[in-house]
Structure 1
Amino acid sequence: MFPQLAEVTSLHLEKRGASPIQVEIGIKKGLPLFHLLGNASQSMKESRDRIRMAMEASGFSFPMDTIVVNLTPSHLAKKCAFLDLAIAIGILKATGQAKFSFPENTIILGSLSLNGNVLGERDLLPLLWFRNFSETDTVILPGSLRGEIIPQGNYIFLESLSDLSFPSTVEKTAKCEIPLIGEPEESWSSAFLSDSQSAALYQLCIAALGRHHTLLIGNPGEGKTMLAKMLSSLLPSWTKEEVESTFKGSLSTVLYGRALEVGKRPFRSPHHTCTEQSLVGGGTPIQPGEISLAQGGILFLDELGEFKEKSIESLREPMEEKRIHITRVNGKEILPADCMILGAMNPCPCGNYGSKKLCNCSHQRIRSYLRKLSGPFLDRICLVISLFSNDEKRKVQIKEKDMKQKLEDSFQFRQERMASESWKRKPNLIKEDLLEEYCKKYKINNFSFRKRRDWMSLSRTVADWNLSSEIEGKHFLEAFEMISSGSWLQEFC
């Protein structure tokens, strides 16, 4: 006797998008067995008892024959439980118990509880956002997602399997975009800083505006970590273009570390004992590291001098390329890494070098401590901000609301400028002859090519901070003063 066959379609989320999964059902006379084929995980194989109980609780009969479920393509590892509903509906179609008729191009998503209720957490939403549906596609979803923001399409919402006994209506949703979470509450309303700390915060804001890699170096207790955390609450809001590119073009950030909604820009602060792989990514399967999870925000490396030298050196390529290529035996991935690297460290092992306290470190010991930061790594650091202890009083009041608004206005001005036709390909374009003029005027011949490029980029960012469409001489001079302030560190390294 020929087996009873049926086929339905579901979705599976992987790093390159939401790919269709064909759920093939075959039922034949034989022992009451349930075979789940197609590279299904052990957790998925538990669904057979769940599906049987859900079908019987909903008034349907579960066939006491040999049931074979094949999930194609078989080379994809299936780990989620969102195929429960598709398998159950496939069994109902194969046994002729399905009295309903769905449109041809129907995609089924949802898991089942033992009482037959159709479940679906918000983890289902990426499957919808990363799949381009056609006008003829219809998606069956759990009823709990009816109130969520979902992309435009045709949907049928099911509360339980028993709803399949009644005619279903197709609901159409209007076009919408990836949801944005409201800005979080202020973490600090105002703060009193010294003149040095105020100047450092100003430079950090400019660095955040242009995502220039920065190093804070100074004695313990001078506010390096405090300023970094203050900066995290000043970061500007996401733009629609960034949302599309970061969350729709880079699925790894959704799969490993972020929800679908876009809220505050990330501020990642790994401990200094973290490994090279946790920083830049890797493993089997390949997973993104901290530098990828900080996409669009800040990767803060506190106590940079205590990080393993190999971990620090692994950041050199992504700092330059704004992305990282990871190749393993079982595959390769290109992960995003467009973030601001912000490091903080002491000037010596005891931390008292340059302060009024006695430093017990020898010159050789200081050199050994600072040489964890190699010359090529430091060459990629655009700004070095020094914070050494002094007798300054904290009398400068900084209001978070004012600083955040200033950074937001500058960021919007920068986005509008870069959106213009002349800046699309070279957002940091600066006339070379003007740069050469200033190099000759101030006898600047010790900058590497990368430092000269950083100077150009920083000058453009300073102009954006001042809402200037043209780079003026004062912007060049201010950028030069900022970028050359860390030249003393090269003497040790």
Structure 2
Amino acid sequence: MVCRVTTFAFEGVDAQPVDVQVQMTSGNPAFHVVGLPDKAVGESRERVRAAFASLGLAMPPKRIIVNLAPADLPKEGSHYDLAIALAILAMMGVVPGDQLEGYAAIGELSLDGTLGETLGVLPAAMAAEAMDLQLICPQICGAEAAWAGGGVIAAHGLIALINHFTGRSVIAPPKPGELAEESSGPDLRDVKGQEGAKRALEIAAAGGHNLLFCGPPGSGKSMLAQRLPGLLPPLSARELLEVSQIQSVAGLLQRGRLSRKRPFRAPHHSASMAALVGGGIKAKPGEVSLAHHGILFLDELPEFSATVLDSLRQPLEAGEAVVARANRHVRYPARFQLVAAMNPCRCGGGPGAAACRRGPRCAQQYQARLSGPFLDRIDIYYDTPPVTAVDLTLPTPAEGTEEVRKRVSRAREIQSERFSEVVSDTCRPVNADAPLPELEKHAAPDEAGAALLRQAAERLSLTARGYSRVLKVARTIADLEGATSVRRLHVAEALSYRHRPPGMPEASMSAVSQTASASHSG
């Protein structure tokens, strides 16, 4: 006779069903776990023994074999304990075996038989609901599992589950955790001066564009980036579910508390490739995935390892991070908005005493740490001028985060309606992710704008990617104005935010900037 209980193995944020099969046979007493378990799964034998002993139950003096099927799928983690324990209890006749057929179980056992907090409960609850199963999980994770909408039994320990299945004491279903209220956050009104940088920030927020601020220390680059989340609309229901699944696997959900505020991740420049993109022994999600549907802010950009920065190129294009292993590939969603800040050179490049004394070579060497293909994925590049004492004495700006957020929301509503039929797991309803057919349909400039773009493409040596990104930024600028078509002045402003390729003569960039400024003024 074999008793079965369903549990789950995690591949990225996807919960794959695992059939826990327990068989007891005659022979020398033994307890074996097979089915490609890692060390944590193999140690479940001792945790189950100790939990049973604390309840006054003795393991049967038989040969116990636990098979985790499919056997070729790697099993990692301690959350298999509960399913193994329930299957053995059913074989011992402590709980009715037929009742376990409609349940899936996930949870780590303590030595006293209680259930500890477990990662990945939300994806497991969603997978159980899709399989028409109820989920048994630790009590501390019940509020998180309840968000999936299916049946959930959140138990404090094994004794509570035994009483529940034998009818002595029924466990009430848990309620979903709280939905955190959105905090106001820092206000854009705190930034004095830098009106051009605020404009660039507004365009980036409206279209979901990647943004790079370059300027001397103290020019407000980090202040501006930290105020970007306040300009963005809250997560939609679909986005909230995707973000929460990643946070559940990473162990960032506290008591099932969800938030509609978009993620803002700011890793230190010493972060490794595995920390940024994902990986490690158990292929955990990296910062790019934790920033899914939110913002990844990289301060002091050139101080990051060149290899680490270049590893972002694929997630920026594909919207997912792939962690390759010898026997499998783990995929995590990573559709994020990149915002970065850097000094023009190692010396800082500020005015007065902070000015660079090594000449233009210092800036060239410092900025050469960023590869051309990486910079080609930056939609908006803005040089932030130094903030003077006069700027700091100016009165508080009349326009703050709330006023800019309203314009951003209107522009996002236009884009959401425009791309309602093409939204997918790797495509957000924003101009930055517009597919090529939609870009040609909705972002084609007028005759004057097309002529300006052709001229600038030759002078700036725009790549095909750079050409399309200029159009996307121009479409966002038009959306902020409520314009139905992309005109010359929109293209001109979008060109002014393009990064100058290394080795390009300053005169070429100046000519384009002057043309853009004249068109924008007109």
TM-score of the aligned structures, taking structure 2 as reference length:
0.78
- 1:62 aligned partner: 59
- Cα deviation digits, residues 151-176 of structure 1 (max 9, x gap): 343455555434157338999989x9
Post-superposition offset of 1:127: 0.9
- 1:446 aligned partner: 459
Q: Is 1:33 aligned to residue 30 of structure 2?
A: yes
Q: Does the 8 A contact of 1:324 with 1:337 survive in 2?
A: yes
Letter in 1 for 2:495: I
Equivalents in 2 of 1:327, 1:115: separation in Å?
38
Q: Is 1:367 aligned to residue 364 of structure 2?
A: yes
Equivalents in 2 of 1:420, 1:7: separation in Å?
43
3-state DSSP of counterpart to 1:385:
strand
Task: Report which stretch shifted further, 66-75 or 328-337.
Answer: 328-337
Q: Does the 8 A contact of 2:347 with 2:354 survive in 1?
A: no
Q: Is 1:167 aligned to residue 167 of structure 2?
A: yes
Letter in 1 for 2:232: L
Q: 1:393 aligns with which of 391, 396, 419?
A: 391
- 2:209 aligned partner: 212
Describe how 1:6-405 pairs up with structure 2 within 5 A: 6-15=3-12, 17-58=14-55, 60-98=57-95, 101-102=98-99, 104-118=101-115, 121=118, 123-135=120-132, 137-142=133-138, 149-156=146-153, 158-159=155-156, 160-161=158-159, 162-163=162-163, 166-167=166-167, 181-189=179-187, 191-195=189-193, 197-243=194-240, 254-256=248-250, 258-259=252-253, 261-283=258-280, 286-325=283-322, 327-352=324-349, 358-389=355-386, 391=388, 392-394=390-392, 395=394, 396-397=396-397, 398-405=399-406
Unaligned runs of 5+ in 2: 424-428, 506-522
Q: Does the 8 A contact of 2:104 with 2:128 survive in 1?
A: no
3-state DSSP of counterpart to 1:19:
strand
Task: Report which stretch shifted further, 417-426 or 151-160.
Answer: 417-426
Equivalents in 1 of 2:422, 2:320: separation in Å?
25
Letter in 1 for 2:459: N
3-state DSSP of counterpart to 1:452:
helix
Letter in 2 for 1:484: S
Equivalents in 1 of 2:442, 2:4: separation in Å?
63
Per the alignment, do residues 289 and 440 of structure 1 end up closer, same or farther by CA in structure 2, a change over 3 Å counting?
Answer: same
- 1:477 aligned partner: 489
Q: Does the 8 A contact of 1:40 with 1:78 survive in 2?
A: yes
Q: Does the 8 A contact of 1:382 with 1:454 survive in 2?
A: yes
Per the alignment, do residues 348 and 7 of structure 1 end up closer, same or farther by CA in structure 2, a change over 3 Å counting?
Answer: closer
- 1:437 aligned partner: 448
- Cα deviation digits, residues 311-331 of structure 1 (max 9, x gap): 333333433343455545333
Per the alignment, do residues 171 and 470 of structure 1 end up closer, same or farther by CA in structure 2, a change over 3 Å counting?
Answer: farther
- Cα deviation digits, residues 398-417 of structure 1 (max 9, x gap): 53333334433433343233
- 1:419 aligned partner: 420
Letter in 1 for 2:249: L
Post-superposition offset of 1:292: 3.1
Equivalents in 2 of 1:490, 1:254: separation in Å?
43
Equivalents in 2 of 1:167, 1:343: separation in Å?
58
TM-score of the aligned structures, taking structure 1 as reference length:
0.82
Q: Does the 8 A contact of 2:375 with 2:499 survive in 1?
A: no
Equivalents in 1 of 2:325, 2:92: separation in Å?
45
Post-superposition offset of 1:360: 0.3
Per the alignment, do residues 68 and 361 of structure 1 end up closer, same or farther by CA in structure 2, a change over 3 Å counting?
Answer: same
Per residue, is there more helix in 1 or in 2?
2
3-state DSSP of counterpart to 1:471:
coil
- Cα deviation digits, residues 287-325 of structure 1 (max 9, x gap): 444333322222222112223333333333433343455
Equivalents in 1 of 2:447, 2:483: separation in Å?
21
Per the alignment, do residues 8 and 481 of structure 1 end up closer, same or farther by CA in structure 2, a change over 3 Å counting?
Answer: closer
Post-superposition offset of 1:200: 0.7
Letter in 1 for 2:485: I
Letter in 2 for 1:167: G
Q: Is 1:459 aligned to residue 457 of structure 2?
A: no
3-state DSSP of counterpart to 1:318:
helix
3-state DSSP of counterpart to 2:386:
coil
Per the alignment, do residues 243 and 110 of structure 1 end up closer, same or farther by CA in structure 2, a change over 3 Å counting?
Answer: same
Identity rate of aligned residues, in percent?
29
Equivalents in 2 of 1:142, 1:285: separation in Å?
22
Post-superposition offset of 1:206: 1.3
Post-superposition offset of 1:272: 2.2
Q: Does the 8 A contact of 2:411 with 2:476 survive in 1?
A: no
3-state DSSP of counterpart to 1:388:
coil
Task: Report which stretch shifted further, 218-227 or 203-212.
Answer: 203-212
Equivalents in 2 of 1:257, 1:98: separation in Å?
31
Equivalents in 2 of 1:52, 1:316: separation in Å?
49
> Aligned pair count?
480
- Cα deviation digits, residues 44-65 of structure 1 (max 9, x gap): 3443343334334445443233
Equivalents in 2 of 1:84, 1:222: separation in Å?
54
- 2:510 aligned partner: none
- 1:408 aligned partner: 409
Q: Does the 8 A contact of 1:100 with 1:165 survive in 2?
A: no
